[in-house]
Structure formats: structure tokens, C-alpha cells
């Protein structure tokens, strides 16, 4: 079966890297009744030196989904509260410098996926000068697959110490999940032990053969 691969045009708001252009992006998309409250929440984020793009995205998402106004505003407000919590966590992990916005956004995303604050803080301290997104998502992946959070963090810390950084930490999570899925059944502890034995030579993620997999929640 030959199938042509079609790539499509994506109109991606690059200016959103700095949260710029929020007003023009929301105009005509967000219901007028919700706009003042959402503007106020975004302004609060800006004034508090929090990343505002997650709030803009949440407003656009809820509007596209047709979420009722009160729940739309609550959703954006919830995102703001999550960012504030994220900054507290980043501040505890990195007390000697202002919390970088990228770190705050990454931690907020990890909290949204259900990762606990203690695990987040621990992983932030492993490599404070590296972008925290990959290690946090790797931990969230493992927790979503019912691995013990502390054990998951132990594995990722060990992987990092053995030279696996950035996206390679996601491969560690994938490998642990694959070990769990092997025919014959494995306990979570077994799966982690096998991956630990592989470090640092964890396979790079690739298209697997047909693997039966149940749906897992990320939050």
C-alpha cells in the first residue's frame, strides 16, 4: 500500500513565544462576555512575570470547543493558579535566581498531567540549567503507566547521571513501558530494573511492531 505523505500548512503563532499579540489573537475568537475576565487574568500573569501564553492557549482552546463562558473563564483562571503554584515549586528548587518562565511553564504542564510537586521539585534540582520539559514529561509518562513516582524519579535521575539528557529521557520512559508490556507479564519493579540494567543504552524510540496497548491517561 503506497500512501503519499501529505504535509500541511500550519499557521503557527511564533509571536506567542513571548505571549505577544494576545489581544489580536483573542479578538473574534473569545466570546465578548468572557473577554474582560480573561484579559484581566492575562494581565495579571504579565504583571506577575508569569508566562502568559498558556493562558492565551487555554482561552483559545475553550472558545474553539464552545465551552460556556463561566467554565471558560474558570479554565483560564485554573491555568493561572497552576502557573503560580509552578513558580513556587521552581522557586524552591532554584532559590538563588528568578524563576525562568520556561521552567514555570514546563512545571505547570507537568502538574496538569498529575505529577506531584515533590517529584517535580526533585527532578528540577537534578539539572537546574537544562530545560526541564523532557524529564518532567518522562516522569509523567511513567506515573501515568502506574510506575511508582519515587521509583520513576530514581530511574530518571540515574539515567541523567549516566549521560541521558533531554529527549533521551523520554526514551527511558518508553523503554520502561515496553518492558512492562512484554509477553509473559512483568511487574513494574521488574520493568524498571531491566531498564536500569540497559542504561545508558536505552533504545531510541521508533515505530514498533504491532503492540497491543491499552489507553493510558496522562493526568
Partner 1 sequence: MMAMSPIDPRLQEALDGERDPGTLPMDLREAYARLMGAANLLQTLPAVSVAARVMAEIHDLKPEVQSVRPARRLMRWLARPRAVTLRLRPAWTLALVAGLAAILLIPTQPTNRPSPGAHEGIAQFVGHFPGARSVEVVGSFNDWSRGSLHLRDEHHDGIWHGAAVLPAGPHEYMFIVDGERWVPDPLAGRYVDDGFGAGRENSLLIVRPAQASLDEDATPR
Partner 2 sequence: MRRAKPLQIRDEALPLRVTLMVNDGPPAPTDVEVVARVLGGDGEAFGILIRRYEPGLLRFATRMLGNPDAAADAVAESLVRAYRHLAQCRDPARLRSWLYRITGNRCRSHLARRRTNDISLSEAPPLADASDSWAVLERGEQVALVERALNALPAEKREAFVLKHVEGMSYEEMAAVTGARIPTLKMRVHRAREALLAALEELV
| 19 counts as binding partner 2 under rule CB under 8 A | yes
Of 26 and 119, CB closest to partner 2: 26
DSSP label of 145: T
131 binds partner 1 (CB under 8 A): yes
Q: How far lies 169's CA from each of 8, 35, 52, 78, 133, in Å?
A: 29, 40, 27, 29, 10
Please choose, out of 47-55, 124-132, 149-157, 199-207, the segment that lies near partner 2 by the rule CB under 8 A: 47-55
Q: Which does 149 bind (CB under 5 to 8 A by kind): partner 2, partner 1, none?
A: none
- DSSP for 145-159? TT--HHHHHHHHHHH
Task: Tell me the torsion sign for CA atoms 111, 117, 119, 123.
Answer: positive
The entry of partner 2, partner 1, none near residue 98 (CB within 5 to 8 angstroms by kind) is partner 2
Q: Please, which of residues 72-131 interact with partner 2 by CB under 8 A?
A: 98
Among 44, 60, 157, 193, binds partner 1 (CB under 8 A): 60
* Distance from C-alpha of 73 to C-alpha of 51, rounded to nearest angstrom: 17
Please give the residue ranges that form the binding site for partner 2 (CB under 8 A).
15, 18-24, 39, 42-44, 46-49, 52, 98
Amino acid at each position: 500500500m503506497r500512501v503519499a505523505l501529505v504535509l500541511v500548512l500550519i499557521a503557527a503563532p511564533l509571536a506567542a513565544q513571548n505571549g505577544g499579540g494576545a489581544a489580536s489573537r483573542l479578538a473574534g475568537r473569545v466570546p465578548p462576555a468572557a473577554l474582560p475576565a480573561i484579559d484581566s487574568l492575562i494581565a495579571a500573569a504579565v504583571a506577575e512575570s508569569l508566562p502568559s501564553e498558556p493562558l492565551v492557549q487555554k482561552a483559545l482552546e475553550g472558545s474553539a470547543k464552545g465551552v460556556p463562558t463561566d467554565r471558560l473563564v474558570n479554565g483560564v483562571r485554573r491555568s493561572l493558579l497552576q502557573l503560580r503554584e509552578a513558580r513556587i515549586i521552581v522557586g524552591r528548587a532554584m532559590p538563588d535566581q528568578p524563576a525562568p518562565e520556561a521552567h514555570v511553564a514546563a512545571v505547570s504542564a507537568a502538574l496538569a498531567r498529575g505529577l506531584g510537586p515533590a517529584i517535580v521539585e526533585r527532578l528540577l534540582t537534578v539539572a537546574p540549567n537544562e530545560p526541564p520539559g523532557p524529564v518532567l514529561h518522562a516522569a509523567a509518562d511513567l506515573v501515568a503507566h502506574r510506575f511508582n513516582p519515587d521509583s520513576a524519579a530514581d530511574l530518571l535521575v540515574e539515567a541523567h547521571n549516566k549521560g541521558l539528557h533531554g529527549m533521551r529521557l523520554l526514551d527511558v520512559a518508553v523503554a520502561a513501558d515496553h518492558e512492562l508490556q512484554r509477553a509473559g507479564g512483568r511487574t513494574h519493579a521488574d520493568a524498571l530494573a531491566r531498564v536500569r540494567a540497559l542504561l545508558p543504552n536505552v533504545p531510541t524510540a521508533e515505530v514498533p511492531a504491532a503492540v497491543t496497548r491499552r489507553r493510558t491517561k496522562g493526568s
